[in-house]
Amino acid sequence: MEQRIAVVTGANRGLGLQTARELAMRGYRAVLGSRDMAKADAAAADLRAAGLEVHATLLDVRSDAIVETFVSAVKDEHGRIDVLVNNAGSIVEADLGHGAPPSTSDVPAEMILRAFDNNAVGAYRLCRSVLPLMNAAGYGRIVNVSSGMGALNEMVDGWPAYRISKAALNAVTRIFAAEAGSGVKINSVCPGWVRTDMGGANAPRDIEEGAAGIVWAATLPDDGPSGGFFRDRQSIAW
Ligand code: NDP
């Protein structure tokens, strides 16, 4: 079988980099999408030094033009895209520099729009560009790295921009799953609370534990699920 090509967005650090590492360790050719090429080149060089097949390509998920250029470049260089992990994400409320969880009185509408653009529309841009390739090829795995903080089922106050953006990302999963052809699977995954720059030092999970569910969804067998929301390989409520 030909080597599978896996694209991971926001892969210069954190869960994205760990996911790329683990996919490469499983024999995938990993493409790190990053808006910071200095960091991405350094991360890719580290992984290559460990014998893994990893490439770095410029990607800012907030730009239609850059996403289109990125997908064309990956397709031209590597032939196709078998796996897409929409991992890039941020907590825009971090800009407030709050100790306490920000509430709606702290978060102007502009922040909601920025979070929505980065965390939900960013994945929409990638899915819109990549899904037709996967449908044509008859194979694909897309993982949208979501969060329990976006689950309507357990929605509470605090961090409204992040929560709303991840709820919207889950809608992106459902909509593209409904358009996915045979052989293509699209799921949302919550990695749990993980010790990364975003998760902070008090998070209970290490990065391997966090990436495990993402890698599982990226490597699902042909009879695996699609259109679901998972944590620790278990279905969770939207
Ligand atoms: P980090 O903050 O450690 O890493 C985030 C990565 O996303 C960085 O590489 C960052 O790039 C990249 N990124 C952000 N915005 C963009 C963009 N517009 N274009 C390209 N890359 C971008 O976070 P984590 O690794 O912890 O988080 C990864 C994903 O997991 C996120 O989607 C997050 O919401 C989700 N998640 C994390 C949890 C946790 O506890 N850590 C819990 C639940 C979900 P740069 O270095 O340039 O800033």
Domain boundaries, the chain: 5-235
pLDDT at 100: 86
> Looking at residues 171-190, what average pLDDT do you find?
98
Phi, psi (degrees; rounded to nearest 5) at 147: -160, 145
Assign 177 a pLDDT band (cuts: 50, 70, 90). very high
% of the chain residues with pLDDT over 70: 100
Residue 124 falls in the annotated catalytic set: no
Instruction: Give the distance (Å) from ligand 1 centre to CA of residue 138.
Output: 29
Q: Are 66 and 46 in contact (CB under 8 A)?
A: no
Buried b (16+ CB within 10 A) or exposed e, 35-44: beeebbeebb
The verdict on the CB of residue 148 being under 6 Å from ligand 1 is no
Closest atom of ligand 1 relative to the 15 alpha carbon: 25
What tokens does 66 get? 């850059």
% of the chain residues with pLDDT over 90: 97
Q: Are 144 and 230 in contact (CB under 8 A)?
A: no
* pLDDT over threshold 90, residue 87: yes
Closest atom of ligand 1 relative to the 90 alpha carbon: 14
The verdict on the CB of residue 191 being under 6 Å from ligand 1 is yes
> Between these two residues, 100 and 46, which has the higher pLDDT value?
46
Q: What is the mean pLDDT of the chain?
A: 97
* pLDDT over threshold 80, residue 99: no
CATH architecture assigned to 5-235: 3-Layer(aba) Sandwich (3.40)
Instruction: Give the distance (Å) from ligand 1 centre to CA of residue 128.
Output: 20
> Looking at residues 16-34, what average pLDDT do you find?
98
What tokens does 15 get? 């869960």
First to last CA, the chain: 36
* pLDDT over threshold 90, residue 53: yes
Distance (Å) of CA 154 to CA 92, 150, 200, 201, 237? 21, 8, 22, 24, 9
* pLDDT over threshold 80, residue 151: yes
Instruction: Give the distance (Å) from ligand 1 centre to CA of residue 182.
Output: 30
pLDDT at 98: 81
The verdict on the CB of residue 207 being under 6 Å from ligand 1 is no
**Which protein residue's CA is at the shortest distance from atom 4 of ligand 1?**
14
